[in-house]
Structure 1
């Protein structure tokens, strides 16, 4: 469903964020991208849904070259790719259910979007997803009244209501305590298993990546150091990915 061929991303001033990145993703996979801060993990995710443009190379999603996509097609592409952020990206003054329904904006025209016009079917689906994520009782609460773990579940619900083929998670547990982190990872894994939605997430915790992933991609300095099964990730490879940072990685 996704193929990256020789991707490069260079920012103004000559900073290279990605160098010769190539990999392919099958439908239904659960993939963790690991690596130190500044390795290029977030840049890679943002290139996949064209939040930023690649400098060179090909990125094919569902037989479409993302690099060449025009504005109207981009809107359609983004309905198929859900995004979950480290800092949630919710509208705090709005209710939980209103934030979830924002996931449908890609399907709306400008007037419907501005007016917040949603169908009964969309509203029903929002409540169904909230129930699945244990947030039904919080539906009418303002998002600034929620805990971090609850906010991240709202972010997951907003992504799910899009009916995506792929969900990208940019450090989804980095701001959470261990209990909330486990809850979020359990929900993401369950969604992947029960719906077949492909999940690609950036993680800083190697142990979490090993526990949940079908496959791990290790990145350092914008290059792929490892691409394989969790059980084949040796200490030596972890050291190559993280260098001197490795001692601070394992979180119980």
Structure 2
């Protein structure tokens, strides 16, 4: 199969690699139909290179169609359309029961002092091959797949892999009171999604950024915006005038 692989600092390629196979009875094989590129993938491009190995398959925001399942998988079947969250979780340990799936006790990478294993994200998180590939082996498939309906395009669902739950959790943890406000610093994919979620929940949203398109989009959706470029330019001019 074709897959996006890491070969060194600023060296990422599309290579032909072996197709994944069922290794455990709890595995599933998914044919990938969409896979996002996350801002955190840039860390693999430079900062986290000491924790990468040549040939590592990248990607932790995939979705696709189940091709094959192990004998102990009960929640999905071949032909099902699924999204894979970035973390690999069993769904039944103490931490999963608390809905803290990124701390799954079954897949925690204890030797590195980290939480749950992640798809395509360094030996710090288990060195599990990622989803920027034609096929993906999904460990613990019953806890690591979200079944979605046929019909709407992938773009309606692929955000369930990372962007949407990350943003939702950020707003949830902010514990904004009824009638309260929340300031979102940066309106990239996570910030934009957090802005939408906070507005959906009835909060006053103040979005801060310096990219005009991001600011105008947030404003159109009902957020108040603060332009850092305008602020810094105005402050500098005011300082010079004094």
TM value normalised by structure 1? 0.28
Select the structure of larger CA radius of gyration: 2
More helix by share: 1
